[in-house]
Amino acid sequence: MNLSPTLSRFVLHWGEMGTRWGVNRTVSQIHALLYIHGRPMHAEEIVDTLGVARSNVSNSLRELQSWKLARLVHLPGDRRDHFETSTDIWEMFRTIVREREQRELAPTMTVLRDLLADPALSKEPAEVRLRLKATLEFLEILTAWSDEMLRLDVATLTKVLKLGARIKKLLGREADAKT
């Protein structure tokens, strides 16, 4: 399958953005291709479309599955494995946030809790202990907020996100009134 210049630009850009987010370029391009086409694709079709090695596609699909961003599907009359991703941008966003939280923030919070509980920490300067505690508190607040936001329905979440600038103005006025 040949991509139109528009779709090719999207897929290539998604791949570039993926590398900036710490994700392999091909993984990101495959995800973009599945997302933009909105239908299941088999590995050979992905190979032909993106012009990448079959082994790279296989590894990338496994990576997408581990992130819960691609799922295996079977089509009637076709024995090949096909893969699809959500075409709901909000569902995709929620999946990415949850997976990043689980893979990156949760282990960091575990290490911070372990460090703060370790009696050896008392030998470190007070500033170090305070920074570790502040970091853990920040991550706990961030993940609690994130969890609450991800539980909201799309309409409510959209409203909350659009309120951002107005909340800043409101808080700015309150802060000005206190000084």
pLDDT at residue 16, as a whole number: 97
What is the domain partition of the chain in residue ranges? 5-84, 89-178
Give, for all 179 residues of the chain, the pLDDT tens digit: 889 999 999 999 999 999 999 999 999 999 999 999 999 999 999 999 999 999 999 999 999 999 999 999 999 999 999 999 999 999 999 999 999 999 999 999 999 999 999 999 999 999 999 999 999 999 999 999 999 999 999 999 988 888 877 887 788 766 566 65
pLDDT at residue 94, as a whole number: 94
pLDDT at residue 144, as a whole number: 96
Is the separation of the CB atoms in 133 and 102 below 8 Å?
no
Residue 40: CB atoms within 10 A of its CB come to: 20
pLDDT at residue 163, as a whole number: 86
- CA 29 – CA 156 distance, rounded (Å): 31
- CA 41 – CA 131 distance, rounded (Å): 48
pLDDT at residue 177, as a whole number: 60
pLDDT at residue 160, as a whole number: 87
Q: Tell the CATH topology of 5-84.
A: Arc Repressor Mutant, subunit A (1.10.10)
Token code pair at residue 124: 């470190």
pLDDT at residue 169, as a whole number: 79
Task: Phi first, then psi: give them for residue 83, nearest 5 degrees.
Answer: -130, 145
